Homo-oligomer: A and B are copies of this chain.
């Protein structure tokens, strides 16, 4: 069921390609139809905070419900709902207090704040456009509008005019190449590197021309305090993952101590972005869906891999990017794992399942790729990461990260809390190994070293096998050997005080810290990308937008409406609605006095899949028309038959092409 790779939701493609994509038209429609809107706009708004209106909320709910079906239920994952408000200590241990930060610069005179990489990007991009204008002017060509090339900011940022100012100045060819190369690697720079770039290229605050401060770190977590004392610092979680790691022991027990298993969580996370932009793509509060798959580090095979191995993905490995290229390779995930392009089956399994999910909800497969992170851009906890990137009018956008967090999180929390976060597995047969160990002769060791005994013993116990072997040789050869205690001081030990020996150990249980593969979904980004992919404009006398969602995620599956607000239609409209409801088909009754044509147009923009209309004929013979959104085709059948058809479409048993093959198309009623 879940293995189909191609989208079945695409409407007649000749229609859709008729007009080029225009973001502003889409945005106007999304605002008019209240998919989402800037939050607190009554109070002037706050950048990076959005409210979802009724169709946006329904779309989001349906995407989440599909996600839960596709991952939690089909894969039998252990879903959690953990706390958002998190004590600082937890996030200090996880590394977020220290490392979850962006670099910011201040305009030294006005105090305006910029995200350092965005500032460099804006200024260099503006200079490159200015260069192009100057070159065009020289050669007499007309340049493309500078305005449309500079990355668009959201409304709040626009007001602050943080965009780079374009002045037509020609650059040296070498400088131009340097700028391009800098821009290509913009995600890769550290704070000090960004500072050097700002110095080197004389980058100033775009609007004022003032100098900017060197980049300083700004932690992206929202801070608060828990309880009335004011002494317990807390942060709003920046990811849902930590709650899952902290519950690892309970989860393992719940799973009857069996490995591997996955937990999952859907919920809000928060990032106090320096300068949010690009609409829903970079926001301060967002819904995530995260999976933590706990796996034996020595065995990353996956029992379900055979089911997905033929799934074809578009891959962009790190090695290709380091060569300065961005061409994707299409190959089956089976091949990719066999060739070592994707590290292991578990990682590969999730890439394939992510792909299937995105296609199922309506993402265009030809605008989806999996890009591997380069070393410098990975989060502090990750050792490998592939992003599912979706192409939008803002470029390629990371919508799902699939990271191998190794044993990082469980290890740091265990070390901090002294709680073992491990799996204990009975070995099929006892494992006998030889091992070098050190023993302390308490009678001599303590009295000789006195209060330093502890720091020396700790240092000895922390030695690796190789270090112990060296120590053994040294002790054999000399009368005393200097050992560095955990306090950093040197202490002399000899053979009377310590014995280093080789012993044989028989183990019946294997103890290990699991590795974690983490597919992490940004629901808002996926939702926005889907809106762009589903949007097209129907050819006709005027611009009429359509949102062609697959029926599974469409905010409303079916509209039921009377031809007009004539009272004779009411009983049948009510009956139809109640029949649909009792058949479990979500329908919306619209008895507003709008014309049928207007109602169709409104519902095309809302992405409503199907529409039933009750007209004068219906009152006579209990037949109604059923219209399909993408083709605008209609059939006319009895109320009972239409309920049956709708049920088969909503449950995904049939598609519209099946219906039009089974029933005659109805073309008489020219209501549009």
The segment from A76-84, A203-211, A332-340 that touches chain B is A76-84
Q: Does A149 contact B (CB under 8 A)?
A: no
Distance between Cα atoms of A201 and B285 in the complex (Å): 48
For chain A residues 268-291, which have a beta carbon within 8 Å of chain B? 268, 270, 272, 274, 284-285
Give the residue among A41, A52, A85, A222 with the most B Cβ atoms within 10 A.
Answer: A85
Q: Does A229 contact B (CB under 8 A)?
A: yes
Q: Does A58 contact B (CB under 8 A)?
A: yes
Distance between Cα atoms of A364 and B485 in the complex (Å): 65
Q: Does A73 contact B (CB under 8 A)?
A: yes
Q: Does A28 contact B (CB under 8 A)?
A: no
Q: Measured between C-beta atoms, what is the minimum distance from A155 to chain B in Å?
A: 15
Q: What 1/0 mask marks residues of chain A from 34 to 55 whose CB sits below 8 Å from any chain B CB? A: 1001011111001101111110
For chain A residues 556-605, which have a beta carbon within 8 Å of chain B? 581-582, 584, 586, 588-589, 592, 594
Choice from B1, B54, B250, B581 contacting A53 with Cβ under 8 Å = B250
Q: Determine whether the beta carbon of A39 is less than 8 Å from that of B76.
A: no
Set of chain B residues within 8 Å of A33, measured between Cβ atoms: 254
For chain A residues 228-269, which have a beta carbon within 8 Å of chain B? 228-229, 232, 234, 236, 243, 246-247, 250-251, 253-254, 256, 258, 267-268
Q: Measured between C-beta atoms, what is the minimum distance from A646 to chain B in Å?
A: 16
Distance between Cα atoms of A337 and B228 in the complex (Å): 43
Q: Does A377 contact B (CB under 8 A)?
A: no
By beta carbon, the residue of chain B nearest A287 is B81
Q: Determine whether the beta carbon of A83 is less than 8 Å from that of B243.
A: no
Q: Does A57 contact B (CB under 8 A)?
A: yes
Q: Determine whether the beta carbon of A232 is less than 8 Å from that of B268.
A: no
Main secondary structure of the interface of A (DSSP, over half): mixed
Q: Determine whether the beta carbon of B254 is less than 8 Å from that of A34.
A: yes
Q: Does A227 contact B (CB under 8 A)?
A: yes
Q: What 1/0 mask marks residues of chain A from 55 to 98 whose CB sits below 8 Å from any chain B CB? A: 01110110000001000011010111111111101100000000
Q: Measured between C-beta atoms, what is the minimum distance from A571 to chain B in Å?
A: 16
Q: Determine whether the beta carbon of A247 is less than 8 Å from that of B73.
A: no
Set of chain B residues within 8 Å of A184, measured between Cβ atoms: none
Q: Does A641 contact B (CB under 8 A)?
A: no
Choice from B51, B81, B89, B284 contacting A226 with Cβ under 8 Å = B284
Q: Does A617 contact B (CB under 8 A)?
A: no
Q: Determine whether the beta carbon of A40 is less than 8 Å from that of B224.
A: no
Distance between Cα atoms of A96 and B321 in the complex (Å): 52
With A51-B243, A82-B39 already in contact, the answer to whether A228 and B57 are too (CB < 8 A) is: no
Set of chain B residues within 8 Å of A40, measured between Cβ atoms: 83, 86-87, 90, 246
Q: Name the interface size band of chain A.
A: 35 or more
Query: How many copies of the chain does the oligomer comprise?
Result: 2
Set of chain B residues within 8 Å of A627, measured between Cβ atoms: none
Choice from B51, B224, B258, B592 contacting A224 with Cβ under 8 Å = B224
By beta carbon, the residue of chain B nearest A243 is B51
Q: Does A494 contact B (CB under 8 A)?
A: no
Distance between Cα atoms of A274 and B228 in the complex (Å): 6
Distance between Cα atoms of A413 and B43 in the complex (Å): 9
Distance between Cα atoms of A582 and B82 in the complex (Å): 31
For chain A residues 204-223, which have a beta carbon within 8 Å of chain B? 218, 222-223
Set of chain B residues within 8 Å of A226, measured between Cβ atoms: 46, 222, 272, 284
Q: Does A553 contact B (CB under 8 A)?
A: no
Set of chain B residues within 8 Å of A594, measured between Cβ atoms: 256
Q: Does A366 contact B (CB under 8 A)?
A: no
Q: Does A374 contact B (CB under 8 A)?
A: no
Q: Measured between C-beta atoms, what is the minimum distance from A83 to chain B in Å?
A: 4
Q: Does A113 contact B (CB under 8 A)?
A: yes
Choice from B50, B227, B251, B256 contacting A83 with Cβ under 8 Å = B50
Q: Does A104 contact B (CB under 8 A)?
A: yes
Q: Does A507 contact B (CB under 8 A)?
A: no
Q: Measured between C-beta atoms, what is the minimum distance from A103 to chain B in Å?
A: 11
Distance between Cα atoms of A83 and B222 in the complex (Å): 14
With A40-B90, A74-B581, A223-B224 already in contact, the answer to whether A53 and B80 are too (CB < 8 A) is: yes
Q: Does A511 contact B (CB under 8 A)?
A: no
Set of chain B residues within 8 Å of A68, measured between Cβ atoms: 61
Q: Measured between C-beta atoms, what is the minimum distance from A272 to chain B in Å?
A: 7
Q: Does A327 contact B (CB under 8 A)?
A: no
Q: Measured between C-beta atoms, what is the minimum distance from A27 to chain B in Å?
A: 15
Choice from B61, B73, B80 contacting A57 with Cβ under 8 Å = B80
Q: Does A633 contact B (CB under 8 A)?
A: no
Q: Does A152 contact B (CB under 8 A)?
A: no
Distance between Cα atoms of A87 and B222 in the complex (Å): 13
Q: Determine whether the beta carbon of B84 is less than 8 Å from that of A268.
A: yes
Q: Measured between C-beta atoms, what is the minimum distance from A410 to chain B in Å?
A: 11
Q: Does A419 contact B (CB under 8 A)?
A: yes
Q: Determine whether the beta carbon of A592 is less than 8 Å from that of B256.
A: yes
With A43-B87, A224-B224 already in contact, the answer to whether A79 and B104 are too (CB < 8 A) is: no
Set of chain B residues within 8 Å of A667, measured between Cβ atoms: none
Choice from B81, B82, B111, B270 contacting A85 with Cβ under 8 Å = B270
Set of chain B residues within 8 Å of A89, measured between Cβ atoms: 43
With A50-B83, A54-B254, A74-B581 already in contact, the answer to whether A224 and B222 are too (CB < 8 A) is: yes
- 18 additional A-B residue pairs with CB within 8 Å, beyond A39-B83, A57-B80: A34-B253, A41-B246, A43-B417, A51-B247, A53-B80, A57-B79, A58-B79, A61-B79, A73-B581, A73-B586, A85-B222, A218-B228, A222-B225, A223-B224, A224-B224, A226-B272, A227-B274, A236-B236
Closest 5 pairs between A and B when the two form their complex, measured CB to CB = A52-B81, A39-B83, A51-B82, A54-B78, A49-B83
**Residues of A with Cβ closer than 8 Å to B?**
1, 33-34, 37, 39-43, 46-47, 49-54, 56-58, 60-61, 68, 73-74, 76, 78-87, 89-90, 104, 111, 113, 218, 222-229, 232, 234, 236, 243, 246-247, 250-251, 253-254, 256, 258, 267-268, 270, 272, 274, 284-285, 413, 417, 419, 581-582, 584, 586, 588-589, 592, 594, 651
